[in-house]
Structure 1
Amino acid sequence: MILQPDQVIDAEIVRILRSSGLCLEMGRIIQASLNADSPTGELFRWAHLTSMCCECIGGDTETALPGAISMELFALAADIFDDIQDKDHDDLPWRQIPEANAINLANCLLMLSFEAIAAIPDDRIYREVCTALQRMGTTASNGQFLEFLYTDSQRVSLEQYFDMVRQKSGSITACACKIGAILGNATETLAESMAKFGLNFGIMNQIRNDLNDFLDFEKKKDFVSNKKTLPYVYLCHTLKGETAGQFKRLTQCYTGESQAFRDKEKHLLKQIATEEGVAQYCSVMFEIYRQKAREILETIPVPEKQKEKMINLVG
């Protein structure tokens, strides 16, 4: 029987979990957590992105598998750390266990991501993939640190926001694309081009997430946590006069246990966001980074047929 790509990925993850000597409960939670936060129901998004980049260069899914599994596990660890810090997504498996256990779970996933790439047979390629993972981990951690550093700042510039997002989000997609290219035996120049594509692809997706989450008071705590998302930073820089004062008071009316941020305040924030063109601004910035990603794809020296999936991914 020929297994479908998702079945191959799932089987390899199960093999890694079983061979790692984890207790049954940790293994169960990891399996329950995989794909749990997929908004579209798409399975193994990070693994598929890595494989897609490998195929774009001329490689195949079998060659890409160790890197694909590694990125899937690494990205899940990053999501867990992010939700613990943001106190978000209370419905997800890792938010329904004690926080200390969730931290251990994320740490374990980071280690397993390096276990996954141990299956790469070529020593040179293994070293390059390992280096890419390590550098991405450092960059993404620094971006996450900046995000929380900015939480206590009264004013964050748009330049600071985009630098933070480049590190926190863009670095992870850049790494997935670069690893896929490396496993496809790309030249260093080509691998870097794929990384630049991934960087812009990651930033554009973060912009979309920022916009979608800004007024999602049921699932997200971005605004009440003073998180410097693009809508928040944009409003800080564009509002004047009384509206600026209203917005500032909204940012100060939630203090953890306080319930001051009620329907009235939510309605006012939505009104300000609508009147000041938050959606339009974010859409323009999304389109700028989407075009950057497409332009990079167009210049990559591989047959057009091999680029089709990547082009469709960007839209």
Structure 2
Amino acid sequence: MDRGDLVIKSIALNKELEAILAPYSNDTELVSHIRAPLAVEGRVLGTSSDNNHWPLLPLYVAQSINGEWTHTLPFAAAIQFMLTAADVFDDLEDDDHIPTGFTGLSKSIRMNIGSTMILLAYAAFARMNNLVSNQIFHSALEILTRYFIQSSIGQHQDLCGSLSSCFDETAYISHIQKTSASQIQCACHIGAVLSTNDPGVTCPQ
């Protein structure tokens, strides 16, 4: 992967996230808490671009299909807000703490931050409305929602203790498909849907 290209895409996605946060910049404390988990290693606002491949996945998928990627920036921002919100709620459910930005914050404040990130994800998604047709926009929105509900189902099974303590390989793969793998698949799927109407590409088996 070309590092120069990686940096260009990281900067573009960073600007997209900041544009979404800009209307709320007067509330400096809340926006600061939102930026903090987005800046941990592996997130788009992280200081080391070399380790921030995953947030750029939909951009690379789109580019591989039709050579363009800027039209996917709102979705890439949306999925970063959704993934980070999922991390916030996962840590609340596990009684853990995201290392950056949440030390000393109450559970209720952290819950509010997570809820705000979900709303910011949909604010990001709305920015895509003028970049693609209404049909594609609604298809991408449905895909985003479906994959994250699937991830929530997997998390619910984990929290309820309904998973066997002795995973075999098949059971483990099935569970991962509902959780972290579904989020990666979501990024790839929408990157494709936004870039081609070829069902052979956009309808994964």
TM-score in same-fold range (> 0.5) = yes
Aligned equivalents of 1:117, 1:50: Cα separation in 2: 13
Aligned residues: 191
AA paired with 1:139? Q
- Structure 1 counterpart of 2:87, from 64, 79, 83: 79
Matched, 1:130 2:138: no
AA paired with 1:164? H
**Counterpart in the other structure of 1:278:** none
Aligned equivalents of 2:182, 2:163: Cα separation in 1: 24
**Counterpart in the other structure of 2:32:** 28
**Deviation (angstroms), 1:156:** 4.2
Matched, 1:146 2:157: yes
AA paired with 1:47? P
**Counterpart in the other structure of 2:12:** 8
> Secondary structure of the residue that 1:93 maps to in structure 2?
coil
Aligned equivalents of 2:72, 2:52: Cα separation in 1: 14
Query: Identity of aligned pairs, percent?
Result: 23
- Structure 1 counterpart of 2:107, from 89, 93, 99: 99
Matched, 1:55 2:59: no
Compared CA separation, residues 44 and 124, structure 1 to 2 (3 A): farther
Check whether the contact 2:36–2:100 (CA below 8 A) recurs between aligned residues.
no
Greater RCO, 1 or 2 (C-alpha within 8 Å, sep 6+): 2
**Deviation (angstroms), 1:93:** 1.9
AA paired with 2:78? S
**Deviation (angstroms), 1:31:** 1.4
> Secondary structure of the residue that 1:85 maps to in structure 2?
helix
**Counterpart in the other structure of 1:38:** 42
Superposition TM-score, scaled by structure 1 size: 0.55
Tell me which moved more, 74-83 or 22-31. Answer: 22-31
AA paired with 1:23? D
Cα root mean square deviation, aligned: 2.5
Please give the per-residue CA displacement for 1:4-37, whole angstroms capped at 9, x wherever unaligned: 3222211211111122577221111111221314
> Secondary structure of the residue that 1:94 maps to in structure 2?
coil
Q: Which runs of 5+ in 2 are unaligned?
A: 1-6
After TM superposition, list the pairs within 5 Å mapping 1:292-311 onto structure 2: none
